[in-house]
Chains A and B, each alone.
Chain A
């Protein structure tokens, strides 16, 4: 079985590790204990050796990123946990915070020790109010038990974590937009460089990582980097949680070893396949900001490099699945609408371009489409992508551009017939 509950340790322990006692009984805080017994540099080396890559979407090697923080900075360093889980179709971090909060807190503490941080922050999306309360309680419990604050677990290490809630903007999941928001400013991406490792929170050295990435640190430090690196492929070691949603019979979160499973196995074996009379049509495997895959890609192994070869990205592994009852033209419009709504408006090409992309797609869905609109879209893709400060614009273009390429016939038919087909399904499948 490719499922391995390492980050989702709660699934191995009755499904719920919200109490500190339960977490400790399940082997919690062994990783921090081991970390505190070594030097920060050794801890950093362990991160590096584990091969752990950023699970937020970009997949950048976590150890390398942590190594970028200058050691001789006059300013304090910070660890920021990106818990602004807002990529469409992505709900994996939510379960960690809800059912296994101490593993995240332990991870943020381990990272803080390794980079010599003065403080850690968890920036959680505003809509996760329930999760924020759980984390708040967990932080208080950790503090009360000497696992945060001064002299953590008798080691002399002084460190605390502040929970900060967002206010509901997609752009605050972009790391520099998040930092701006955390500083109390309007959430907009920054010009880079400086990169956060050098000039992040309050222009100080900052390690910023996703919830899932930081939650992988306790098992890595408990069992050793080599244990972790042995799982998965050479370039994609370890496990990754896939949030599968859409037209499959058993949607949900699945932590699988990278590279062991193909997209077909995930959808048909693990997620139970499709409803009677329907079959796979399309899948946005890494959240909505990635190129769409079609049936020809079903046998792609699920890891960073194989998916890239297939023309898409692993991203956040928020796997949105559509069966043959779905309409790719309407979905494209829906996605374009999302990005138009969430563009922060800072860079002209994204602010103006996402709006025009939506308008043109709307025209096609409304039956007023013209063949030239496909060329117009094509021209716009090139003017938006790569012309801006952050990845939002690329993410806005990728799903639509790939849909027009991969499913061009659907668009042509929609324009010719004056309406896309099939008609939208009103009832959502339940799994």
Chain B
């Protein structure tokens, strides 16, 4: 049973069968295979083609056993147990057979196994050792080739035994369908796509195949250190530092080298052992030579501050040097090394000085959704108590602030109502404004799997995501979401497809919605959104007829000046059709960062304390004043972009930035940069000298994800534990300790015994985390709310019996169509859309220092429709100049039909061609989120 909702499913009495294995009687549920039953009894039957996470195929025949009365030996991995069956798992005949088979397979193997050498787990070589096979009676060598074309996986066809584990891993687990078989008989090989080299195939380098392979055929190329199997590796259970899916993984750590050697997905987790390319291969940034190891103070000679150093180091031929990010030495030369004492004293005195002279409102802090709950909690506590201001925000403002605003307004809770894997129980999944295969790759495997099992995916997006291959793709015009969804709702009402009983029982303000929706007939919406009226009707009928629909959305919904309206429309659609609160239904904004949910829960938001408690509410504030022992500011603080604008006008004079990089990530970033340069004092706490740190007054060397313990809350509301795997480099310190040191020096003394102590304080103040302790968070972690953490995983599907609003009802909040802030015109005729790629994370500070990821995706590029390129006279791969009313960049153009005519897609990871120089800082009035997905653009041949 794979359903995340298994605990709620009705229990049915399972029929059992009793059989005898190796003379011992055993009773197992009907449908158990002999292999599984033996395993339960502690009898390991050797097998090569099977793995418990895969559907058995029974082809390697290594697991054959003797069954009394059977004509031949039977493959135990595919033989169901039956009453009265008598099985011998290791009779002479069985062992002889396994030995001959091993000998046949070994005949083609090389003398040594790459897998054995790298990770010590070549299953075929282990069997050969067990059977004492040193050489085969059969002449060896199949002269099959080696394929080293993939940046992360070595393919040695000679070592392949055609067990199909990689094929099933690629097809069934990751739903990527890249690997198949080619040729027949003895010439059979695995093949990629139409038998391309792996590196030239559509492989997305998730590494699931290499993880599944039992021999040296598919092995991970060494990523960080030369691997020596003899040196014992230590398993550290942790989670992935990248996206909001928060995959649980086990880090294989070489203590002596202080490095992560490789990573494996954890089977006992919500991600079911799956990882993507970032999670499996993106950990080595932690060991990069650029890591900051000592506190840095800007040299007197480097005032006044100058702008960013040269973009990149380049080779003689003009291409970028691999692995070298900015001109690092030059950037570092603006600073001198300092002791922690000196640096912390300077930070505390400068911030205190500004606070005392200009008031707390002249200070501001950016926390980070990359940091743990503990760090987020301490950071907002520091800003609110020691800085005496609510000017604290983080990157949620730039990703889902509008979604959260709409959710809080309508259903009283800003988090998801169900987990992403609940898509398995849905008839229809509406995936809108999300490019999940790039941005939530492991969640995307669950969507693709659901599609294969009959869930209809409706993909609404102006930019064609790869998920469109797995469902119905609806390409709406950029920025036309509200009109499209209003028309869908119009049809649903027109044709009586709404859930009147649900509306009656669980919602309010329906009449207001009806009034607005009535104006948006498909005929009215069609010219706005670009979808034919009949198609809108058809989609509305599909949604209306679904017994269970789940809506998952990304930043294509949220990052607009009408982002809140977009989200309101999706919420109204779910409420109107009664699609909340049951398995397979619900609202799921796919959260971006690994801890954006947790950082928000912990109060890293200017208007609220932890648990979304308003700072303006006197009772709430009194509670936190009591807990923290200081008076608190009753005025909600400024948001990210407002703070940036505050630095420009001089109302913000001092800033503390932890782990964020607004010099690349803020909209209209030149304006933001100019503002930050204006600050009297800027302290940056980070692991690298980021673009932002380059202009800091003090830089504090922090610890990477792998060097600390803390909790992280994923997009599902799942609280998981990340554990220390590495020692921090040089004098780098734990982030929570740095924050405590600064607070103490500012006169607000902190005395936590350890990091869990911080978590205890946080969870005690936060109802949704109440009762959670580190000991509960192994395995799958816990979903908040979790009333019984000792025995239960937490609540999967929320709001089956009403909403946490004053009336217990979900409120319809109708939305009218408002145009984007900046429409294309004759001078700027294109629409700019920004986003991310599979291999890179945000501003690239981590991923561009991860060898494999950088190698796969080394250069900045934009996607332009081939027709537009032809008009511009630019070849595929040629350079273009992109300009907006704010700035311009020069960038490589890739011809792509993923983007529609008249639109250009630019990933924002690349310093050398920063997309955010172009974006507009016009804000959504409610969510205060900028319009990263829409502004007017000019494209020229460069």
Surface stretch bound by B, among A116-124, A130-138, A230-238, A354-362: A354-362
CB pair A387 B72 closer than 8 Å: yes
CB distance from B81 to the nearest CB of A (A): 15
How many Å lie between the Cα of A376 and that of B187 in the bound state? 23
Query: Chain B: which residue is nearest A358 at the CB level?
Result: B186
CB pair A341 B185 closer than 8 Å: yes
The proximity string for A residues 346-387 relative to B, scoring 1 for CB distances below 8 Å and 0 otherwise, is: 111101111110010000000000000000100100010111
CB pair A186 B181 closer than 8 Å: yes
CB distance from A353 to the nearest CB of B (A): 7
Surface stretch bound by A, among B98-106, B487-495, B574-582: B98-106
CB pair B100 A379 closer than 8 Å: yes
Q: Is B138 an interface residue (CB 8 A)?
A: yes
The proximity string for B residues 147-183 relative to A, scoring 1 for CB distances below 8 Å and 0 otherwise, is: 0000000000000011010000000000000001101
CB pair A352 B104 closer than 8 Å: yes
Specify which chain A residues have a CB less than 8 angstroms from the CB of B101 in the assembled complex: 348-349, 383
CB distance from A11 to the nearest CB of B (A): 37
Query: Chain B: which residue is nearest A343 at the CB level?
Result: B185
CB pair B61 A388 closer than 8 Å: yes
How many Å lie between the Cα of A343 and that of B61 in the bound state? 16
Specify which chain A residues have a CB less than 8 angstroms from the CB of B188 in the assembled complex: 344-346, 351
How many Å lie between the Cα of A188 and that of B182 in the bound state? 12
Query: Chain A: which residue is nearest B93 at the CB level?
Result: A382
CB pair B184 A343 closer than 8 Å: yes
Q: Is B139 an interface residue (CB 8 A)?
A: yes
How many Å lie between the Cα of A186 and that of B183 in the bound state? 10
Q: Is B332 an interface residue (CB 8 A)?
A: no
How many Å lie between the Cα of A346 and that of B163 in the bound state? 8
Q: For residues 298 through 325 of chain B, which have their beta carbon under 8 Å from a beta carbon of chain A?
A: none
Query: Chain A: which residue is nearest B71 at the CB level?
Result: A386
CB pair A389 B58 closer than 8 Å: yes
CB pair A383 B100 closer than 8 Å: yes
CB contact between A345 and one of B61, B64, B73, B185 (< 8 Å): that residue: B185
CB contact between A169 and one of B58, B137, B181, B184 (< 8 Å): that residue: B184
CB contact between A343 and one of B64, B100, B186 (< 8 Å): that residue: B186
Q: Is B856 an interface residue (CB 8 A)?
A: no
Query: Chain B: which residue is nearest A360 at the CB level?
Result: B138
Query: Chain B: which residue is nearest A376 at the CB level?
Result: B137
Specify which chain A residues have a CB less than 8 angstroms from the CB of B185 in the assembled complex: 340-345, 351, 354-355
Specify which chain A residues have a CB less than 8 angstroms from the CB of B162 in the assembled complex: 345-346, 348, 351
Q: Is B57 an interface residue (CB 8 A)?
A: yes
Query: Chain A: which residue is nearest B161 at the CB level?
Result: A348
Q: For residues 57 through 95 of chain B, which have their beta carbon under 8 Å from a beta carbon of chain A?
A: 57-62, 64, 71-73, 78
CB distance from A99 to the nearest CB of B (A): 32
Q: Is B896 an interface residue (CB 8 A)?
A: no
Number of A-B contacts (CB under 8 A): 84
How many Å lie between the Cα of A268 and that of B21 in the bound state? 56
How many Å lie between the Cα of A385 and that of B64 in the bound state? 13
Q: Is A425 an interface residue (CB 8 A)?
A: no
The proximity string for A residues 176-208 relative to B, scoring 1 for CB distances below 8 Å and 0 otherwise, is: 000000000010100100000000000000000
CB distance from A297 to the nearest CB of B (A): 24
Q: Is B97 an interface residue (CB 8 A)?
A: yes
Q: For residues 104 through 121 of chain B, which have their beta carbon under 8 Å from a beta carbon of chain A?
A: 104-105, 107
Q: Is A81 an interface residue (CB 8 A)?
A: no
How many Å lie between the Cα of A101 and that of B600 in the bound state? 73
CB pair B97 A383 closer than 8 Å: yes
User: With A191-B78, A352-B186 known to touch, is A346 a contact of B59 (CB < 8 Å)?
Assistant: yes
CB pair A191 B180 closer than 8 Å: no
Specify which chain B residues have a CB less than 8 angstroms from the CB of A383 in the assembled complex: 97, 100-101, 104
CB pair B78 A344 closer than 8 Å: no
Q: Is A69 an interface residue (CB 8 A)?
A: no
CB pair A359 B139 closer than 8 Å: yes
Query: Chain A: which residue is nearest B100 at the CB level?
Result: A383
Q: Is A171 an interface residue (CB 8 A)?
A: yes
Query: Chain B: which residue is nearest A388 at the CB level?
Result: B61
How many Å lie between the Cα of A346 and that of B181 in the bound state? 9
Q: For residues 374 through 406 of chain A, which have their beta carbon under 8 Å from a beta carbon of chain B?
A: 376, 379, 383, 385-389
How many Å lie between the Cα of A342 and that of B107 in the bound state? 21
CB pair A345 B184 closer than 8 Å: yes
Query: Chain B: which residue is nearest A170 at the CB level?
Result: B184
CB distance from A356 to the nearest CB of B (A): 6
A-B contact pairs, 30 of them (CB 8 A): A186-B181, A191-B57, A191-B58, A191-B78, A340-B185, A340-B186, A344-B184, A345-B162, A345-B184, A345-B187, A347-B59, A348-B59, A348-B104, A348-B105, A349-B104, A351-B162, A351-B188, A352-B105, A353-B104, A354-B186, A355-B186, A356-B138, A379-B100, A383-B97, A383-B104, A386-B72, A386-B73, A387-B97, A389-B58, A389-B59
Contacts A346-B164, A349-B101 given; 17 further ones with Cβ under 8 A? A171-B184, A188-B181, A191-B57, A340-B185, A341-B184, A344-B188, A345-B184, A346-B59, A348-B62, A348-B101, A348-B161, A352-B104, A356-B138, A383-B101, A386-B71, A389-B58, A389-B59
